[in-house]
Amino acid sequence: MRLALLLCLLPFAPSVLAADDDERPDDRPEIETLLETLEDRVGKSARDDPKDREAVQLIESLAGQYESSGDNDRGDIVRGLDRVFLAKRRADRDGKRETGLFIAAAKALGKTGDDGAKRLLRWIGNPKHRQDVALQRELVLALGATRSDDAVKPLADLLGEDVPQIVGAAAAALGNFDGKDQKVRKSLFEDLLKKMESYRENARGNDSTAQALWGALRGPGNQSLGKLSGARQNDPESWRRWWNKNKRLDWDA
């Protein structure tokens, strides 16, 4: 009941306000209360709430308020979401760990732009969560969702990882930068195309890891190349021919 009352303090969807920062609500006690409640839920063992449903609700509510909040509340929201990753959650009898709490925080940070990108970069590959491949995948996707300039190089570098899920997520995440200057888009396009050519060649043998990497990269890679360039092709060979003809042209003409 108390959680329901707290969530009613703020609407889930952010209100539409003027772009002027001075008109955004800030230093709200409601935000402080929600963050304190989230910290309390995160600090518990989750024994009474195995799937952390209440904490996830709080995370989603806070994420919904970020865009319409003032600078101080934005900073507090991002710090509160970041601290979620410090939570201790033990694996169950089958060795599986509930990751809903962390995945919700990752997706929420993906909606917070540059501030969120800095926080997400701290947790991608972090020893505390490195072995949780499903979570690492969501962190990478969230990093792309920030559309932050700080995310460009790290995502391109992640294309060289040896975990198929991470490689596929990095390729998909790069498609979020279709609104960047074409110099950035062309650089990302070329990096991604080279990786696709390399993985495609490696997969021609009997190496199961190489085949898994190509399988994970192929779909999202083609989609992101299309988003970055505005063109449509289906394989590295076709994309290479397209690139050779169009790399010096104005893609925005």
Please report, in tens digits, the pLDDT of each residue of the chain (253 residues total). 455 545 555 554 444 343 455 689 999 999 999 999 999 999 988 777 878 999 999 999 999 999 999 999 999 999 999 999 999 887 766 667 778 999 999 999 999 999 999 999 999 999 999 999 999 999 999 999 999 999 999 999 999 999 999 999 999 999 999 999 999 999 999 999 999 999 999 999 889 999 999 999 999 999 999 999 999 999 999 999 999 999 999 999 8
| Phi, psi torsion values for 91, nearest 5 degrees | -75, 155
Tell me the domain boundaries of the chain: 1-146, 152-253
Predicted local confidence at residue 161, as pLDDT = 96
Cβ–Cβ under 8 Å, residues 135 and 90: no
- CB under 8 Å, gap of 24 or more: what pairs does 87-90 form? 87/42, 87/43, 88/45, 89/46, 89/52, 90/45
Q: Which residues of 88-119 are buried (b: 16+ CB within 10 A; e: fewer)?
A: ebeeeeeeebbbbbbbbbbbbbbbbbebbbbb
Nearest CA among 80, 66, 78 for reference residue 37: 80
Task: Say if residue 59 is exposed, middle or buried (CB neighbours under 10 Å; 0-12, 13-18, 19+).
Answer: buried
Which distant-in-sequence residues (6+ apart) come within 8 Å of 68 by Cβ?
Answer: 14, 15, 16, 17, 24, 25
Query: Which residue type does 250 have?
Result: D
Predicted local confidence at residue 46, as pLDDT = 76
Which distant-in-sequence residues (6+ apart) come within 8 Å of 6 by Cβ?
Answer: 33, 34, 37, 58
Which distant-in-sequence residues (6+ apart) come within 8 Å of 132 by Cβ?
Answer: 97, 99, 102
Task: Say if residue 58 is exposed, middle or buried (CB neighbours under 10 Å; 0-12, 13-18, 19+).
Answer: buried
Give the helix/strand (H/E) hosting 222.
Answer: helix 208-229
Query: Within 10 A of 77 (CB to CB), how many other CB atoms are there?
Result: 26
**CA atoms of 111 and 118, how far apart (whole Å):** 12
Global pTM value: 0.90
Predicted local confidence at residue 57, as pLDDT = 96
Distances (CA, A) of 225 to 116, 222, 238: 25, 5, 11
Predicted local confidence at residue 48, as pLDDT = 77
Predicted local confidence at residue 17, as pLDDT = 40
CA atoms within 13 A on the CB side of 8: 5
